[in-house]
Amino acid sequence: MTAIYGLFAEPEAVQRAVDTLRRAGISNRDITVISDQPYEEFEFSHHDKATWLFPLAAVGALVGLVSATLLTVLTERAWPMNVGGMPVVALWPNLVVTFELTMLGAILTTVGALFVTAKLPTRVPALYDPEVSNGQILVGVSRPAGATDAVRSALEQSGALVVKTAD
């Protein structure tokens, strides 16, 4: 057995279960909550809220900007063409390409960072129950070790519809 989990019908019961598990000495890191929708109104959903996605998106934008600048400037210098009397390296038209590639850098980095930090794509984890898709909320503890009874008791007392184990 690597995990023990309970299925709950209501988010209020999930909050009670999480609080009870914490009081039983289980760390936040070992508690997993899985649901078919986000529950921003409840404290239990606020774990792991700190994220680097915004700074990473900014870095992606910067990479896009530098790439676009290099692409346009180096291309124009390598194959200089006279177009309508404009300078060979024409800043104003290049800004259009630079802007688009900057935003593309931000977008692609955001999506890449999402996949990495949310661990996607992956196999469906062992600690999962298809009943989640029927609206039930899973509260599980990975590697409960010696605390199995305490975890089971906490889940049952908090109103779990059913308590199961996962290998």
Partner 1 sequence: MSASGQRISDDLLRPLLETTWRFYLLVAVFGLFVLAGAGSFAYQVYWGIGVWGLKWPIFWAFDITNFVFWIGISHAGTLISAILRLVNATWRRPVTRCAEAITAFALMIGAMFPIVHLGRPGLFFWLMPYPSERHIWPNFRSPLVWDFFAISTYLTGSLLFLALPMIPDFALVRDRTTGMRRRIYGALALGWAGTTKQWHRLETAMQIMAIAIIPVAVSVHTIVSFDFSMAPVPMWHSTIFGPYFVAGAIFSGIAALIIAMAALRKFLHLEDYLHPVHFQNLGKLLLLMSLLWTYFVFAERLTVWYGNEPSEIAVFWATQRGAYAPLYWTMVTCNFVIPFSILSLTRLRTITGCVIASCAVVVGMWLERFLIIVPSLSHKYLPYSWSSYRPQTPEIILMVSTFGAMGLLYVLFSKFVPIISIWELKVGEHPKRVAATAQEADEIATLWRAQP
Interaction site with partner 1 (CB under 8 A) = 9, 32-41, 44-49, 51, 53-54, 57, 71-72, 75-76, 78-79, 81, 83-84, 86, 90, 93-94, 96-97, 99-101, 103-104, 106-108, 110-111, 113-115, 117-125, 128, 130, 132-136
Nearer to partner 1, 27 or 122 (CB): 122
Nearer to partner 1, 116 or 149 (CB): 116
In angstroms, what is the minimal distance from the CB of 88 to partner 1? 10
Nearer to partner 1, 98 or 152 (CB): 98
Q: If you search the block for the tokens 């999402």, which residue do you land on? A: 114
> How far is Cα 35 from Cα 138, in angstroms, rounded to an integer?
6
Nearer to partner 1, 9 or 149 (CB): 9
In angstroms, what is the minimal distance from the CB of 119 to partner 1? 8
> How far is Cα 137 from Cα 123, in angstroms, rounded to an integer?
20
> How far is Cα 27 from Cα 82, in angstroms, rounded to an integer?
67
Tell which residue, 100, 119, 122, 107, has the closest CA to residue 56: 107
Q: CB–CB of 16/136 below 8 Å?
A: no
In angstroms, what is the minimal distance from the CB of 167 to partner 1? 16
Nearer to partner 1, 42 or 153 (CB): 42
In angstroms, what is the minimal distance from the CB of 35 to partner 1? 5
Which one-letter DSSP state was computed for residue 129?
-
> How far is Cα 76 from Cα 1, in angstroms, rounded to an integer?
63
Structure tokens at 86: 């404009």
Q: If you search the block for the tokens 């809220």, which residue do you land on? A: 49
In angstroms, what is the minimal distance from the CB of 149 to partner 1? 25
